[in-house]
Amino acid sequence: MSLPRKLMIDGEQTVANTRTHLKVLTIPFLILLVVAGAGGFLIHQVSDSGSGIPRWIVIAGMAILILWGSVLPFLKWLTWTYTLTNKRIVEQKGLLTRSGRVIPLNRINDVAFEKNLNDRILGCGTLIIHDASEQAGLQLRDIPHIEAFHRTVSNLVFEKHDNTPSDESI
């Protein structure tokens, strides 16, 4: 899901587009497996009862648990994107109500990344961007191929700072 053309500035081009690493879907996937397995077992156990009401209660409970524990986290993951353009970094998130944060590249002061042991094994990490504002730095969590993304952001920031006229030349 790239940044829509209607939200882009004149001369802006998408450099990279990413979302969080698939590792964030591990727990929702396990919830799906456990609920499906336990629900199938329970449906089999209550299917011999005279009326079909206990079976429908189990199915309704399974549907609620799968929706809450697997489908909603998947949709959250699917709609939370980070887009790097040649002018800014855009974070967008939300299912029904979209929100986001935009940081122009020429306002970025520091770009760093962190990786714990699990992140190193999976090849992801957290990108931390500090800009010249009062707000806390933007943390892009669980970014796949973090070193390459960090390098790309750093190169674009250096280019923006090199092309910005200094106060001495005015």
DSSP string, the chain: -PPPGGGPPTT--EEEEEE--GGGGHHHHHHHHHHHHHHHHHHHHHTTSSSSHHHHHHHHHHHHHHIIIIIHHHHHHHH-EEEEESSEEEEEE-SSS-EEEEEEGGGEEEEEEE--HHHHHHTEEEEEEEESSSSPPEEEEEEETHHHHHHHHHHHHHHHHHHSPPGGG-
Specify whether the CB–CB gap between 4 and 14 falls below 8 A: no
Q: Is the pLDDT of residue 166 over 60?
A: no
Measured CA to CA, the distance from residue 61 to residue 104 in angstroms comes to: 46
Using the predicted structure, report yes or no on whether residue 1 has a pLDDT greater than 80.
no
Per-residue pLDDT, averaged over 34-46, amounts to 92
Per-residue confidence at 82, pLDDT binned at 50, 70, 90? very high
Predicted local confidence at residue 3, as pLDDT: 73
110 pLDDT higher than 80: yes
Tell me the β-bridge partners of 85: 14
pTM, two decimal places: 0.81
Is 12-21+82-163 assigned to CATH 2.40.110.10? no
Unique residue bearing structure tokens 């122009």: 104
Q: Which range, 26-35, 36-45, 104-113, 131-140, is most confident? A: 26-35
Length of the chain equals 170
Please give the average per-residue pLDDT across 59-73, as a whole number.
96
Q: Residue 169's pLDDT is what? A: 47
Q: How many CA atoms lie within 13 A of 137 on its CB side?
A: 14
Q: How confident is the model at residue 137 (pLDDT cuts 50, 70, 90)?
A: confident
Over residues 65-91, mean pLDDT:
94
- In the prediction, which pLDDT does 159 show? 87
First to last CA, the chain: 41
